[in-house]
């Protein structure tokens, strides 16, 4: 610890290490569950999970408990950024162990890509036959997405009072910009509320899948990845393998519910708290879903003579919900749709769902504020001296928020363009390069071309897999948290 402090004296490693250790501990406990499944089922993966569990659980526990010896120390913004990024990176690195030990992958790059895709809830995969994997591996893939869904560091913050760890900065560094609101005076209590809602939605979804006809194991796995908006499935063909309308309806309901700001559920349950702060965004989110489903349904009917009205509605409802919520489940190969529908899918990938949800993308509230800002700039040309206030359905946003949204949008677009150029430079065609960048940055998974809905990422070269893994992490942490670490100013001792 002292050596770390000496190498970078401006950082509070005594507070950063317990946060990273908490993430490792959470992954280690998931390994224990998978070990139990492997031992019970005799699927040959006991060693693959037993050995990593023996290392990660004690190591993570010691790191977390080390916070008990600390005096009150401030966890500053830079500490929070580094702690969160290192925690996610550590979880992804540790998550490669069972994939390599079980023989799921022979190469570290493949295992790391799959692990990062899981923990960031991206859902991109390199597996050719998912069904061939042991049940314990399938459960780990689902658990990794569930841990990453609402935020593995939010779980660490929830247990912070028991460890003496300060949690506010890491909570803010992980949650999306417009979700940084306290539901209670204590950050740790807010984190517990979020996880309680998350667990409740997961339970409802698992039960729903079971009632819809899934087996217990399939229902559990898909319940975990649906509420996490992750998209990993126990079947190679995803939910298309079940070919069941009830299963698809449960998945649509689960995905749509997970795309709502979790603070809205808390306020709705309390009754006396105002729901107004989230209503504008939720209304826009639902309108985007309904409008896009209607437009895609019409597009499919017009472009194909063989697709009936019911099938077009069924395919569009599921696919649009999966894309908007950045889940990535598939029941239809949208890469075979007409160009208009395919292009709309790509645009919806950027939008995402509500802030404070488990979804990726830019978030609906940012899109609303961008449109409001654009409309005001047009109006300013006619009335240059008019005083304009950024307002969405009665809620006023400060100029700091406006600048933050514009800055985020600019950086988001630049990262996307650079990522597309990098993937094209690696030899991929334009469609595959573009869609792989979009799908990874917005943590969706399936794209177009060689990474389409019925394909995997096996066509991506090794350098591309490493790069897309970084892009997943950046997208999951909403770009700023990761990119700030790449700036020279971050590492200067004088920065607070």
Task: Give the pLDDT confidence of 85-134 residue by residue, as tens digits.
Answer: 899 999 999 999 999 999 999 999 999 999 999 999 999 999 999 999 99
Most confident range, picked from 185-189, 207-211, 485-489:
207-211
Helix (H) or strand (E) segment spanning residue 488 = none
Token pair of 205, please? 């979804």
Among residues 103, 146, 141, the alpha carbon closest in space to that of 125 is found at: 141
Distance, in Å, from the CA atom of 393 to the CA atom of 404, rounded to the nearest integer, reads 20
The enclosing H or E element of 392 equals strand 390-392
The residue written with tokens 């300013």 in the block is: 380
**Token pair in block for residue 303:** 């472009």
Residues composing the chain: 496
What pLDDT sits at residue 166? 47
**Per-residue pLDDT for 362 more than 60?**
yes
Kindly indicate the confidence band of residue 404, based on its pLDDT and cuts at 50, 70 and 90: confident
- Tens-place pLDDT, residues 31-90: 999 999 999 988 889 999 999 999 999 999 998 887 765 544 556 677 778 888 899 999
What token pair was written down for 309?
């009205």
The predicted model scores a pTM of 0.91
Residue 469 pLDDT level (bands cut at 50, 70, 90): very high
162: Cβ contacts below 8 Å, ≥ 6 apart: none
Comparing 28-42, 105-119, 158-172, 241-255, the range with the smallest average pLDDT is 158-172
CA nearest to 234, candidates 370, 373, 125: 125
481 vs 281: CA distance, rounded Å: 24
Q: Which of 13-22, 112-121, 331-340 has the lowest mean pLDDT?
A: 13-22
Q: What is the pLDDT of residue 162?
A: 44
- Distance separating alpha carbons of residues 234 and 187, to the nearest angstrom: 36
DSSP per-residue string spanning 411-426: HHHHHHHHHHHHHHHT
Consecutive H or E run containing 401: helix 399-425
Tell me phi and psi for residue 395, to 5 degrees. Answer: -90, 125
């Amino acid at each position: 610890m002292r050596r770390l402090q000496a190498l970078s004296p401006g950082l509070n490693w005594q507070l950063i290490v317990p946060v990273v250790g908490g993430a490792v501990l959470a992954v280690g406990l998931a390994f224990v569950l998978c070990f139990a499944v492997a031992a019970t089922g005799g699927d040959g993966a006991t060693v693959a999970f037993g050995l990593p569990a023996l290392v990660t659980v004690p190591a993570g526990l010691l790191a977390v408990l080390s916070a008990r010896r600390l005096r009150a120390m401030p966890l500053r913004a830079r500490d929070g950024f580094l702690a969160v990024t290192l925690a996610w990176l550590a979880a992804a690195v540790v998550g490669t162990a069972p994939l390599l030990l079980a023989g799921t992958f022979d190469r570290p790059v493949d295992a790391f890509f799959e692990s990062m895709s899981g923990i960031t809830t991206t859902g991109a995969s390199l597996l050719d036959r998912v069904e061939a994997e042991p049940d314990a591996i399938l459960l780990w893939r689902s658990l990794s997405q569930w841990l990453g869904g609402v935020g593995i560091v939010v779980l660490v913050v929830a247990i912070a009072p028991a460890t003496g760890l300060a949690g506010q900065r890491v909570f803010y560094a992980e949650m999306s910009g417009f979700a940084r609101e306290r539901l209670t005076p204590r950050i740790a209590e807010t984190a517990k509320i979020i996880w309680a809602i998350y667990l409740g939605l997961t339970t409802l979804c698992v039960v729903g899948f079971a009632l819809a006809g899934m087996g217990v194991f399939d229902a559990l796995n898909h319940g975990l990845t649906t509420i996490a908006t992750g998209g990993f499935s126990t079947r190679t063909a995803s939910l298309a393998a079940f070919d069941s309308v009830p299963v698809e309806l449960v998945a649509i309901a689960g995905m749509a519910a997970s795309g709502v700001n979790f603070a809205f559920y808390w306020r709705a349950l309390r009754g006396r708290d105002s729901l107004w702060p989230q209503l504008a965004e939720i209304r826009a989110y639902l309108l985007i879903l309904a409008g896009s489903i209607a437009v895609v349904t019409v597009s499919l009917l017009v472009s194909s003579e063989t697709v009936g009205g019911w099938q077009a509605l069924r395919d569009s409802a599921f696919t649009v919900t999966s894309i908007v919520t950045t889940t990535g489940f598939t029941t239809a190969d949208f890469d075979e749709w007409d160009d208009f529908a395919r292009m709309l899918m790509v645009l919806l990938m950027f939008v995402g769902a509500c802030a404070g949800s488990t979804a990726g993308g830019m978030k609906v509230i940012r899109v609303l504020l961008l449109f409001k800002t654009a409309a005001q700039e047009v109006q300013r040309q006619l009335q240059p001296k008019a005083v304009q206030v950024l307002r969405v359905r009665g809620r006023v946003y400060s100029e700091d928020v406006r600048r933050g949204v514009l800055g985020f949008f600019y950086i988001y677009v630049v990262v996307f363009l650079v990522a597309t150029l990098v993937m094209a430079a690696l030899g991929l065609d334009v469609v595959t390069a573009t869609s792989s960048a979009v799908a990874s940055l917005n943590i969706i998974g399936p794209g177009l071309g060689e990474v389409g809905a019925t394909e995997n990422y096996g066509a991506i070269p090794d350098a591309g897999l490493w790069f897309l893994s970084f892009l997943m992490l950046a997208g999951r942490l909403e770009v700023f948290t990761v990119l700030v670490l790449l700036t020279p100013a971050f590492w200067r001792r004088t920065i607070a």
